[in-house]
Amino acid sequence: MNATMTDDLDLRVKRLKESLGGRVSVPAHHYQRPNIVRHADLVGDSYRLAVAASRSEASYIILCGVRFMAESAAILARPDQRVLSPDLAAGCPMADMIDLAGASMALASLKAAGVADPAPVVYMNSNADVKALAGSLGGSVCTSSNASAVVRHYLDRGRPVFFAPDRNLAMNTAKRLGLDSGAVFLVGKDGSIRGQGDPSRGLLFAWDGFCHVHRRFTLDQVRAARQKHPGARLIVHPECDPELVDLSDDSGSTEGMQNAIRDGGPGRAWIVGTESNFVLRLASEYPDRTVEPLALSYCPDMSLITRETLICSLESIVAFESGSGPLVHELRIEGQLRDQAASALRAMVDIVEGRS
């Protein structure tokens, strides 16, 4: 795409947003490409986007991220708000690794093994039906930034936790909380429970799912990066393998990584193990320090959101308001599904903000 075409697309997005004024909000996830981020009203991780969506005054929210993020916005939005995803095909392979039937089967297996009253804690990277199941059973959603707080909340109340769908985040959370390895188990897609101890005495049961983006990082890449950049600080996402997290200097959510690099000051060197669009954007935002990806690893689903699809969403709002066309790319979650999923999302916010 030549420079003239690029400038034209940026100008069209800008003019459409200006024509809609405060009636439209465009939040974007950190993993979006730079040409989407530059048009965002808010850039953040999944927790920040969920909370912002619930508090937005805009009539239309165009969520530039993957489907579960737009679903969360639709669940928390006011009845008079409309939520759009510029490409409804932008999914999350990890979220698709567990569905309502799989989660229900896993909980039944735990109860059959003598696990009393397991609390479902489902990662934000899950679909609405799985969030709704958690809400219906007094469980919660969590994100990578608050997983430890949410899991601890239930353990402190005597409820063992079924954590889905990311096994790595679960295992890294267990280590952070200091849980004994004999109290941590994996739950397979066939309902099998694998671990060292007695499941009836278990505290954390992790569904055996994973993130393709973070699974690509290897211990050899860590060793090579250490050799290339001696003295650099290695920070990785907790969706990475626990062995890799153990070799890092720190782990954290995208928001946590951004804050660490921002607060680290000029002259520092960072190696960052997460989605590469985000890492390369950090490098451009902080040219007075070294920021390099541990290895290049992109999320193809995030990249389905383009300026062209964003323009299509914006133009459909203009047409819809004038009565000359339908609202495209809209995502609606309604009825009991919405109510129960909202309960799980609000439980997360209440736990994190100290209201529960």
For 271, list phi and psi in degrees, rounded to 5: -115, 125
Domains of the chain and CATH, by start: 3-90+301-335 (3.40.50.10800), 95-211 (3.40.50.10800), 217-293 (3.40.50.10800)
Classify residue 266 as exposed, middle or buried by CB count within 10 Å of its CB (0-12, 13-18, 19+). exposed
Q: How many residues does the chain have?
A: 356
What would the pLDDT profile of 64-112 be if each residue is shown by its tens digit? Answer: 999 999 999 999 999 999 999 999 999 999 999 999 999 999 999 999 9
Cis check for the bond before 266: say yes or no (omega within 30 of 0). no
| Residue 102: strand pairing partners | none
What secondary structure does DSSP assign to 236-274, as a single string?
Answer: E-TTS-HHHHHHSSEE--HHHHHHHHHHH-TT-EEEEES
Classify residue 292 as exposed, middle or buried by CB count within 10 Å of its CB (0-12, 13-18, 19+). middle
Q: Which is it for strands 60-62 and 82-84: parallel, antiparallel or unpaired?
A: parallel
Handedness of CA 317, 9, 309, 210 (dihedral sign): negative
Which tokens is 8 given?
């034209």
CA distances from 171 to 88, 218, 254, 255 (A): 31, 17, 18, 20
Classify residue 35 as exposed, middle or buried by CB count within 10 Å of its CB (0-12, 13-18, 19+). middle
Q: How many CB atoms lie within 10 A of CB 256?
A: 17
pLDDT tens track, the chain, 356 positions: 555 666 899 999 999 999 999 999 999 999 999 999 999 999 998 878 877 877 889 999 999 999 999 999 999 999 999 999 999 999 999 999 999 999 999 999 999 999 999 999 999 999 999 999 999 999 999 999 999 999 999 999 999 999 999 999 999 999 999 999 999 999 999 999 999 999 999 999 999 999 999 999 999 999 999 999 999 999 999 999 999 999 999 999 999 999 999 999 999 999 999 999 999 999 999 999 999 999 999 999 999 999 999 999 999 999 999 999 999 999 999 999 999 999 999 999 899 988 87
pLDDT of residue 46: 81
The Cα–Cα gap between 63 and 31 comes to 13
CA distances from 310 to 37, 86, 315, 322 (A): 11, 5, 9, 19
- Element of type H or E holding 350: helix 335-352
